[in-house]
C-alpha cells in the first residue's frame, strides 16, 4: 500500500520548501487586519512550519531526526535559503534545524483572558528564514534544482515515505512554463510512492480563498490553473485526516493546492502530510 512507510530515525522522510522571492512578493495580499506583504506572510508561515516540525520530533531524549528539511529560494538567484549557521545547506536533519535558528524574535499574540476579553501575550518565535522580494521568477530553474536535491535524498533513503515539496508563489514564471519540471519532480519516487507537491498560490487578486479543490473551475487565471494541474492529489490518508480533524469538505481528486488561503491552512496541510504513521 503506497504512502504507508513508517517514518523513523532509520528511515527518515524529507520536506523541501520552494519559496518565490521575486520582486512581486513585495505586493500585499489578504484583507483587513490579515493584509500583509506576500513575502512577510510566507516567511511567517514557513517559520511556523519549521517550529511545528521541530516540536513534533521532540521526544524525552531530544529532537529525533525523523525528517530532513530543505529551503530553496528563487528570485534574483536560485539557492539554499536558510540563514545563520545553516546558510548554504540544501538539506538538513530536523535536529540541526531546531538547534540553529538565526535568531529568536518576541511576538505579541492576542489570547483569551477567561472573562470574555483578550490579553496580549508575548511568545518566543524562532526565525530561520527572512522575507526577500527581489528579481524575477525563475520557477523552471527552481524546480530543476529541487529535483536534484530530491534525487539525492531518495538515492540515500530509497524506502522512505515520499518527499513532500511545499511551494509558495504568486504564480507567474519568468523562465518558461514550469509544468514539465513539476511533472519531472513528482515522477521521482521511493519504494513507497511518488514525491508529493503542494502548490500554495498567493495572489493580489480579490477572489475568495480556495483550499484543496478537485477541479480548476473556480480558479481565476491561467497561473492558478497551472499550479493546480501540477499539484499532487491528496493521499487517502490525507483526505481522511483533513475531513475528520480539520472539517474540510473535500471531493474525490482533491489536490494539494491552495489559492489565497489563510496561511494557517497551509500549516494544517503540512500536518496532513506528516502523519502517515506513528513516528518511532
pLDDT digit string, tens, across residues 68-115: 999 999 999 999 999 999 999 999 999 999 999 999 998 777 667 677
Tell me, yes or no, whether 262 lies in a domain. Answer: yes
Question: What 8-state DSSP symbol labels residue 255?
Answer: B
* Angle CA 279–91–169, to nearest 5: 95
Residue 76 located in a structural domain: yes
State residue 154's pLDDT score. 98
Q: How confident is the model at residue 184 (pLDDT cuts 50, 70, 90)?
A: very high
In this predicted structure, the answer to whether residue 276 has a pLDDT above a threshold of 70 is no
On whether residue 93 sits in a domain, the answer given is yes
Half-sphere exposure of 225 (CA within 13 A, CB side): 8
Cell of 154: 531518495
In this predicted structure, what is the pLDDT of residue 108? 72
pLDDT for position 261 = 84
Residue 54: strand, helix, or coil:
helix
Is 215 within a domain?
Answer: yes
Q: How many domains does the chain have?
A: 1
pLDDT in the model for residue 15: 96
Residue 280 lies in a domain: no
pLDDT band at 278 (very low <50, low <70, confident <90, very high): low
Its pTM stands at: 0.92
Residues of the domain holding 143 = 13-272
**Is the residue at 100 inside a domain?**
yes
Has residue 6 been placed in a domain?
no
The fraction of the chain above a pLDDT of 90, given in percent, is: 67
Mean pLDDT of the chain: 90
pLDDT per position as a tens digit, 211-261: 999 999 989 889 999 999 999 999 988 888 888 888 888 999 999 999 988
Mean pLDDT confidence for 109-122: 71
pLDDT at 203 over 70: yes
Report the SS3 class of residue 171. Answer: coil
pLDDT (mean) for 140-165: 97
Check whether 148 has a pLDDT greater than 70. yes
Instruction: Please report which helix (H) or strand (E) contains residue 14, including its range.
Output: strand 13-20
| Alpha helices (H) along the chain | 38-56, 94-98, 139-156, 179-187, 222-230, 236-246, 263-272
pLDDT > 70 in the chain, percent: 93
Confidence at residue 220, expressed as pLDDT on a 0 to 100 scale: 87
User: Taking each helix axis from N to C terminus, what angle separates 236-246 and 263-272, rounded to the nearest 10 degrees?
Assistant: 130
Specify the CATH number for the domain of residue 207: 3.40.50.410
Is 279's pLDDT higher than 70? Answer: no
In a domain, 102, yes or no: yes
Amino acid at each position: 500500500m503506497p504512502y504507508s512507510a513508517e517514518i523513523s530515525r532509520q528511515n527518515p522522510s524529507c520536506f523541501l520548501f520552494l519559496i518565490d522571492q521575486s520582486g512581486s512578493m513585495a505586493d500585499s495580499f489578504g484583507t483587513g487586519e490579515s493584509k500583509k506583504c506576500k513575502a512577510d506572510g510566507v516567511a511567517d508561515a514557513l517559520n511556523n512550519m519549521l517550529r511545528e516540525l521541530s516540536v513534533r520530533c521532540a521526544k524525552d531524549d531530544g529532537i529525533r531526526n525523523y525528517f530532513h528539511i530543505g529551503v530553496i529560494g528563487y528570485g534574483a538567484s536560485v539557492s539554499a535559503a536558510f540563514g545563520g549557521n545553516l546558510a548554504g545547506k540544501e538539506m538538513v536533519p530536523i535536529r540541526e534545524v531546531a538547534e540553529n535558528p538565526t535568531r529568536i524574535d518576541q511576538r505579541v499574540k492576542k489570547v483569551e483572558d477567561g472573562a470574555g476579553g483578550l490579553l496580549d501575550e508575548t511568545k518566543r518565535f524562532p526565525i530561520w528564514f527572512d522575507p526577500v522580494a527581489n528579481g524575477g521568477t525563475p520557477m523552471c530553474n527552481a524546480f530543476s534544482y529541487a529535483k536534484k536535491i530530491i534525487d539525492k535524498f531518495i538515492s540515500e533513503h530509497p524506502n522512505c515515505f515520499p518527499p513532500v515539496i511545499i511551494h509558495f508563489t504568486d504564480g507567474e514564471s519568468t523562465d518558461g512554463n514550469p509544468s514539465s519540471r513539476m511533472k519531472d519532480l513528482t515522477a521521482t519516487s521511493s519504494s513507497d510512492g511518488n514525491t508529493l507537491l503542494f502548490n500554495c498560490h498567493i495572489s493580489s487578486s480579490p477572489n475568495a480563498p480556495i483550499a484543496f479543490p478537485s477541479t480548476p473551475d473556480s480558479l481565476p487565471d491561467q497561473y492558478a490553473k497551472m499550479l493546480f494541474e501540477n499539484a499532487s492529489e491528496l493521499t487517502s490518508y490525507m483526505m481522511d485526516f483533513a475531513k475528520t480533524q480539520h472539517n474540510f469538505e473535500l471531493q474525490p481528486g482533491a489536490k494539494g493546492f491552495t489559492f489565497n488561503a489563510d496561511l494557517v491552512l497551509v500549516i494544517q496541510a503540512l500536518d496532513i502530510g506528516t502523519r502517515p504513521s506513528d513516528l518511532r
